[in-house]
A and B are shown apart, each in its own frame.
Chain A
Amino acid sequence: MQVRIANVRKEFDRFPALHDVSLDIHSGELIALLGPSGSGKTTLLRLIAGLETPTDGKVFFGDIDASEKTVQERNIGFVFQHYALFRHMTILENVSFGLSVRPRATRPPAGEIRRRAMELLDLVQLSGLEKRYPNQLSGGQRQRVALARALAIEPGVLLLDEPFGALDAQVRRELRKWLREMHDRTGHTTVFVTHDQEEALELADRLCVMSQGKIEQVGSPDTVYDSPISPFVFGFIGESSELPVTVENGELWSGGRAIGVPAPDSKTGEARLFFRPHDVELVEHDASLAGVVTSSRRVGGTRRVELEIGGEGHKVEVDLPFDHPAGEKTRLSFRPKRWRLF
């Protein structure tokens, strides 16, 4: 189902959590709401669910204004960070819950409820555990039960609030892959909240980057990673290095010398140069950024070198292959291959 958020504002006790946010969520897509804590991403998700009501603005499900509908009427699947399973019910009862609380007229017969719950447990690969209680399962298993429980009501939209936040790194990676496969199979419109940019980049069809109650950028993972439209997005998505520069005569200058990077359009004056540590080339010319190596760490397959540029203590990071001979030097000259200027 298509979801449209139109000019939504939300205040908690006069404290604004969301400022005039609008977002179109396409039918069948997997979209990530990504941002640091306090950016309003969870509030936005809860507004879609109906767990919060907007101070202003509307939420549409398809063409229907859902703002007036209660949580119960919205037919959404919601998965919480800490699972929120019913601990006095077996796994099967947990998954069946949504169907068994329906009014008599729309409630499937008991046998049918059971069959569907078992089918979903099979889908989340937990067949055979239906008689257990939640406290007998591991974190990853519990979260899969929570997902099966949410899917049981055949929701129009699936909403996940930091679904892997409470799990350890390995389980998180497995579940991430598994969720992607699940989504490809079932095709639910899915919105998930995360503060983990790696998770968002890997999992989502589109990212919605948020900061301080506003949407900074919406786009595919590639667009957001390659063409961030603000310093915040550049710094938040992926690794980044930042350096103050001067733009003059169509060139960038740092510490009184040209660094061999042409300036875009007609910008002049002070600016901030952003680049990715791995998007650099080592050069021998004078027209480059040169710095003194202040630290050097091996990170997996690369060596991350921290350089001090100029006399004012500006530090940037660049990545070298771990066995590159330049890793031994005390001074390095480089040029960013790709960069953005703000």
Chain B
Amino acid sequence: MKQPSVIPGFGLTLGFTLAYFSLIVFIPMIALGIRSAGLGFDGFWKAATDPRVLGALRVSFVTALIAAGVNVIFGTLIAWVLVRYRFPGRRIFDAVVDLPFALPTAVAGIALTAIYAPNGIVGQWFPFRIAYTPIGIVIAMIFIGLPFVVRTIQPILEEVSREVEEASATLGASRFQTITRVILPSLTPAILTGFALAFARGVGEYGSVIFIAGNIPFVSEIAPLLIYIRLQEFNYVGATVIAAVMLIISFAMLFFINLIQAWSRKRFGYGN
């Protein structure tokens, strides 16, 4: 006789999950694949290695990587402050971290452009241009990616018990050694997750970046914008090719980060 599982509804939930995934994720992606495949390998390769496309892809991925890296450092710091210290206004500060989630990205882009423009309140103090250069793109991506890093590290940091730090101190470790050898290693999986999320968000970001980027081909034109430009030229295949290439690169990178994560999770026994 069939033994029913204690956890109810496997058939139903799996069926729903597959149907939902198909409608929302798989079918659009397959359409993307079919569309770009229609070009044939040579055509695809030619469209994908077009210098302007390569330039846009480079700008997109390099800036997203830099932004995610910056976010990991300062996001960890912010999570640390929010978890470890009690100060007036902490809850407000905590809520403000989520604002980039809620704010329309265009608003963020325009606001950042205004203050980082050469005559803006922050931009005027720098000897180099920030807005309308790749630096501006990085700043916009930092802004929108920050909550991902803070919100993934915060709960894990809360879980790292004070006792572990105290144990480290009683064993003679300096504060620096406690941070580098005890706290940070135990945060590694969460930091990787935060990095992956912030990176993915940065690569896909469109709204805020186009305002601050200046959008000069080969210098500060991001791939999502180039897709939009191709669409406006009615070059649907060209747009699809860029999208497909972005998708492949992003998927490869995220998959690699996931592997590292799975390995470190298994090792450290999270969820155990």
Contact = CB atoms under 8 A, between A and B. Distances in A.
Interface of A: 49, 51, 71-72, 75-78, 80, 82, 84-89, 97-98, 101-102, 133-136, 146, 149-150, 152-153
Given A71-B169, A78-B166, A86-B186, A135 B161 contact: no
A77 to B, nearest CB: 7
The 3 closest A-B pairs by CB, nearest first: A135-B269, A98-B171, A84-B163
Given A86-B186, A133-B267, A153 B171 contact: yes
Most B CB contacts (10 A, CB to CB) among A75, A80, A86, A89 go to: A86
Given A84-B163, A87-B186, 5 more contacts: A72-B172, A84-B167, A88-B186, A101-B171, A153-B172
Interface string B169-191: 11111100100011001101000
Contact of B177 (A49, A101, A133, A150): A101
Contacts, number: 76
Given A80-B166, A82-B161, A87 B269 contact: yes
A316 B188 CA distance: 59
Contact of B169 (A72, A86, A135, A152): A72
Interface in B185-220: 185-186, 188
Contacts of A136: 269
A150 B182 contact: no
B170 A101 contact: no
Given A86-B182, A88-B185, A88-B188, A98 B172 contact: yes
5 contacts: A72-B173, A78-B167, A85-B164, A133-B268, A149-B167
Interface in B123-164: 161, 163-164
Given A82-B163, A84-B161, A84-B164, A71 B272 contact: no
Contact of B170 (A51, A102, A134): A51
B181 A101 contact: yes
B167 to A, nearest CB: 4
B261 interface: no
Nearest to B181: A101
B168 interface: yes
